[in-house]
Structures are given as structure tokens and as C-alpha cells.
């Protein structure tokens, strides 16, 4: 048994230069787990709350010193001495210490960094790689150990870039039959090809928060056309070798019950927007639509799943916010066929695992996702493989904080091969 001996925390910077909580957990056998929390930019209303200091003289009010003292002064004394493999007990103690619905007292950033660091330390003690350790917590299924299919966000719009597309993320996903290294290679070649297409059109190739290009396209549809051209230029077949998708993040342009996008001069009703998605999805082989409707437009969600759910995966991110109650609502209303899992939207490893479990047994596809304000922590790569996620969404195949996850998947890929050769 290895007990928690010490928990310390400090402020580090995330990929956007903003503070994040990094926690170190030391166990009685000397094993150490270090983990840090990401932050979102287009944050949903139903997410667990991050605690920020709001001191304008310290990182423009974005400091996390209060969250850090919550780790060291409140959480640590309650966890020292507990066996680190008791993740359920550890996370439950933190949930109870917080006592709010949204982790608003101690902060999801404080709690999750401890929760992940405990899991990492416990995995080391058990001598299992983290993905296999986490797999012990999910229902034993016959699902083979494999790398989830990656969704690469290669054009950034919305709140993630200085361009002017309303849709937040323009995604490519290689056919799931491809090996993971081949999928990475394909994403790299399409990304390079897209750069050329943008240059030919005299558009900027500066990149946004998640590593995709952020050009000023004339419309969202034009942005999709650029990607289609980039794919064709590589002699790849759209709809066969590679598919396209969108994270629309539509809550960001939903006002007065209407959707305001640049493709049309008048605002769209939910039905108008769904018809537009239908048109786009046929023209561009969109197999993936995340947050196509706003987080409170339940009627729109039910309508879109009913109308185009056969051809396109309809995925809830802001809608569900990795929250079990929101997930149940989405299931009751037949709103989605897939769910985004972001551990920092709910705040503990155990609750994230539980949401995956419910989603999976309801037949939803599971997509494990990064945040725009990532750190170099690669926990979610192991988490995704451990829970047998269908997809991972870690951004473009560039930028240190994104490739940290893609590279970890390469490592896991080799470890899985070694295991299956034994």
C-alpha cells in the first residue's frame, strides 16, 4: 500500500501565458505524480468553476494563488495518509470538502490537479502505465486496447483566432481504419497542403489557440472549401480516406433565440441553421458536428439529431459540460449521439470516468478533448485510451502543448504493440 505523504502545488503558465495550478503528490513509497489543469476560452455555462484570484496586479486577475492555497491548506491535510489507489474515496473527500454543485468553493482547477496527480502517482506505484491503471476503473469490456481516432482542428475561428469565421473549429479526421502513426502523417500532409491553399489565396497562415490557421475567410463555407481543396491536392479522397467535421461552438453566436453567422445576412432560426448544416454536411462529408446548437436550445438539438443524426455525429460539449445531470437531460431529450469529455468541466477523475460509463452504456460515441488553454500535461491521452474513447480531440498537429498529447499517444501505441506481442 502506498499512502499519500505530501501534496504541494504551484502556479505555472499555460499555453496562453495564463496561470494554471500544478500539483505534486508524493507517496510513502517515494513515487511522485505531477499534474496541471487546462483552461477553456469558450467556456460553457454549465462547467465546474475555476477559482481565479481577481487581483489585477497579478497576471491581470487570472492568478490561481487562492486555488493553490486551497490545495495545500484545505485539501492536503484531508488526504495525507490515504492509500493512493483509493481514487473514489479521495475524489469523494474533495467533492465533500468543496460542498458546492460546481466546485465553486475550492475550484475545479485545485481539485482536478490533485485528482490527476494522485492517479499518476498511484499508477507508478502499481507499475502500470497510466492508461492501463485508469482502465482498471472502467467496466471490463471486450473493447480492444487501441488508440482513438484523432480529430485534428486545422482551421481556428470563433474565440480561438483573430480571423473572422464564426465557427470555432474546422476539423479533419482520417478514416478510423488507418493506424495512428499513419493518421498523424496524413494530418501533417493536409495541414501543409492547407497552408499552400491559404497562401495561394493571399490569406494569413498565422495560427490560433489550438494550432489551426486563422485566416479571414469570406464565410464559414469558404473555409470548408479551402480544406476540401487541401485534401484534393494531396490526392486523398474526401469521404473515404479522410472526413471533415466542425466544432461550431454555436452558443457564441446565439442571441435572442437566433443564430447570427456571416454566411447569411439575416439571422437563422434553429431550423434554418439545421438545413444549412444539412447542405454543408452533404457537400463536405461532415461526419462530426460539435455544439451545432446553443447550450440552451434543447428543441434545436432534438431536431438536428432527428434530421441529420443518421449521417453526422451530433456531439455535445458546452451542452453537457461532462456533467451527469446534463448528460441525463441530453439522453432524455434525444439530443446527441456523441459526448465531449473534458475532465476540467466536472473537476475529478472519478466523475469523468462515471460520465464516460453512462454515455457509453447509452450508446454515445465518446470524444476525449483538450482545452484551448492547455498545459503540457498529457494525462488526457492516457485517459482516452484507458476508457476506450472513440475519438480524441487535441488540436492541430503542431504546438508543444498539443503535440505533448499526440506524442504520448505514439508512446502508448508502442506500449500496446509490445503488450500484444507478449
Binding flags for Zn ion, 315-354, as an x/- string (CB under 5 A): --x-------------------------------------
Query: Which residue, 308, 307, 299, 310, is CA-closest to 319?
Result: 299
Backbone angles phi, psi at 245, to 5 degrees: -155, 175
Nearer to ligand PGA, 186 or 315 (CB): 315
- CA pair distance 67, 58, nearest whole angstrom: 14
Nearer to ligand PGA, 98 or 247 (CB): 247
Q: Give me the catalytic one of 31, 124, 221, 342.
A: 342
Q: Does 247 bind Zn ion (CB under 5 A)?
A: yes
Report what 22 binds from ligand PGA, Zn ion, none; CB cut-off 5-8 Å by kind. none
Instruction: Give every CB contact of residue 52 below 8 A, 6+ residues apart in sequence.
Output: 61, 62, 63, 64, 66, 67
CA dihedral sign of residues 22, 67, 48, 19 = negative
Binding flags for Zn ion, 252-291, as an x/- string (CB under 5 A): --------------------------------------x-
Nearer to ligand PGA, 70 or 252 (CB): 252
Active site residue 357: no
Query: Which residue, 65, 400, 4, is CA-closest to 210?
Result: 400
CB of 9 to ligand PGA, least distance (A): 22
Report what 40 binds from Zn ion, ligand PGA, none; CB cut-off 5-8 Å by kind. ligand PGA
Three-class SS state of 380:
helix
Report what 49 binds from Zn ion, ligand PGA, none; CB cut-off 5-8 Å by kind. none
Burial class (CB in 10 A: 0-12, 13-18, 19+), 144: exposed
- CA pair distance 132, 115, nearest whole angstrom: 17
Active site residue 16: no
Question: Rule CB under 6 A: which residues touch ligand PGA?
Answer: 40-43, 247, 249, 317, 369, 371-372
Q: Does 166 bind Zn ion (CB under 5 A)?
A: no
**Beta-carbon neighbour count of residue 105 at 10 Å?**
15
Measured between its terminal Cα atoms, the distance across the chain in Å is 28
Q: Which residues lie near Zn ion (CB under 5 A)?
A: 247, 290, 317
Q: Annotated catalytic sites, by residue?
A: 210, 342
Amino acid at each position: 500500500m502506498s499512502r499519500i505523504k505530501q501534496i504541494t502545488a504551484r502556479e505555472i503558465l499555460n499555453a496562453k501565458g495564463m496561470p494554471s495550478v500544478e500539483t505534486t503528490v508524493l507517496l510513502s513509497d517515494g513515487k511522485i505524480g505531477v499534474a496541471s489543469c487546462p483552461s477553456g476560452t469558450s467556456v460553457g455555462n454549465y462547467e465546474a468553476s475555476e477559482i481565479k484570484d481577481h487581483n489585477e496586479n497579478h497576471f491581470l486577475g487570472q492568478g490561481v494563488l487562492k486555488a493553490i492555497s486551497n490545495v495545500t491548506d484545505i485539501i492536503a491535510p484531508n488526504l495525507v495518509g490515504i492509500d493512493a489507489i483509493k481514487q473514489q474515496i479521495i475524489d469523494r473527500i474533495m467533492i465533500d470538502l468543496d460542498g458546492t454543485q460546481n466546485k465553486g468553493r475550492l475550484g475545479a482547477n485545485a481539485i482536478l490537479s490533485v485528482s490527476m496527480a494522485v492517479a499518476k502517482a498511484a499508477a507508478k506505484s502499481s507499475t502500470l502505465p497510466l492508461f492501463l491503471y485508469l482502465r482498471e476503473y472502467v467496466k471490463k469490456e471486450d473493447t480492444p486496447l487501441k488508440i482513438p481516432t484523432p480529430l485534428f482542428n486545422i482551421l481556428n475561428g470563433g474565440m480561438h483566432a483573430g480571423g473572422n469565421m464564426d465557427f470555432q473549429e474546422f476539423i479533419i479526421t482520417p478514416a478510423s481504419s488507418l493506424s495512428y502513426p499513419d493518421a498523424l502523417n496524413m494530418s501533417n500532409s493536409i495541414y501543409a497542403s492547407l497552408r499552400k491553399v491559404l497562401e495561394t489565396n493571399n490569406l494569413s497562415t498565422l495560427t490560433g489557440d489550438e494550432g489551426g490557421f486563422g485566416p479571414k475567410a469570406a464565410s464559414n463555407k469558404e473555409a470548408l472549401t479551402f480544406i476540401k481543396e487541401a485534401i484534393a491536392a494531396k490526392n486523398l479522397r474526401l469521404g473515404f480516406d479522410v472526413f471533415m467535421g466542425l466544432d461550431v461552438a454555436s452558443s457564441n453566436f446565439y442571441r435572442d433565440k437566433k443564430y447570427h453567422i456571416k454566411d447569411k445576412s439575416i439571422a437563422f432560426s434553429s431550423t434554418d441553421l439545421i438545413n444549412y448544416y444539412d447542405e454543408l454536411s452533404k457537400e463536405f462529408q461532415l461526419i462530426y458536428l460539435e455544439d451545432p446548437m446553443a447550450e440552451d436550445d434543447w428543441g434545436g438539438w432534438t431536431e438536428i439529431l432527428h434530421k441529420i443524426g443518421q449521417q453526422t455525429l451530433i456531439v455535445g460539449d458546452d451542452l453537457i459540460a461532462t456533467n451527469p445531470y446534463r448528460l441525463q437531460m441530453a439522453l432524455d431529450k434525444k439530443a446527441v449521439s456523441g459526448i465531449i469529455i473534458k475532465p476540467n468541466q466536472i473537476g475529478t477523475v472519478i466523475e469523468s470516468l462515471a460520465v464516460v460509463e453512462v454515455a457509453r452504456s447509452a450508446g454515445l460515441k465518446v470524444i476525449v478533448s483538450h482545452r484551448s488553454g492547455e498545459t503540457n500535461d498529457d494525462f488526457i491521452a492516457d485517459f482516452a485510451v484507458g476508457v476506450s474513447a472513440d475519438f480524441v480531440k487535441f488540436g492541430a498537429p503542431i504546438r508543444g502543448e498539443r503535440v505533448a498529447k499526440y506524442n504520448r499517444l505514439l508512446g502508448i501505441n508502442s506500449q500496446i504493440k509490445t503488450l500484444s506481442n507478449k
